[in-house]
Amino acid sequence: MDPRKYGPLHTIEETNPESRRNRHDMYHHHSIKKSICAKLSQTWIFEFLGFLASLLCIGATATVLRWYDNQLAPDWPVTLNFVLSLLGNVGFAGTIFGVQATIAQLKYIWFAKRPWPLADLVGFQKARGGVIGVAQLLWTAGAE
């Protein structure tokens, strides 16, 4: 291979048309997956799935508690307490995921109506952090 023609960094694979075609297909496939994810992120589908997961965890928790009420603990490799804790945490995470996205969207709607002081922006940021922030936001936003 002549380094003057291809340069010192090119290899035979890079000059092979079949290799270039495979690389193009790989990048094209990646861009299709990226565009699908970008389109899905424009919708509320992930938030809906988070809320759905939360509802399913609540139902599963109620079912497990009812099934094993006044029964001996099951002979599982994990304890019943672990299963209930896992269901509770997954349900909580699904709820928080949807609530945070909703608060973020509400922030944009709030500031699109008219100019508000920057203190309101801080209130929305605090609301995404926990229950106390939500209570403060409801107190300040409800007053206006």
Higher pLDDT, 27 or 33: 33
The predicted-structure confidence for 59-118, as pLDDT tens digits, reads as follows 999 999 999 998 888 888 999 999 999 999 999 999 988 888 888 888 888 888 888 777
Our count of domains for the chain comes to 2
Residues 65 and 28 in one domain: no
Residues 117 and 48 in one domain: yes
Residues 23 and 49 in one domain: no
Which residues span the domain enclosing 62? 43-143
Residues 22 and 60 in one domain: no
Residues 60 and 115 in one domain: yes
Q: How far apart are CA 4 and CA 109, in angstroms?
A: 60
**How many angstroms separate the Cα of 98 from the Cα of each of 39, 57, 72, 136?**
18, 15, 37, 19
Question: pLDDT at residue 6 above 70?
Answer: no
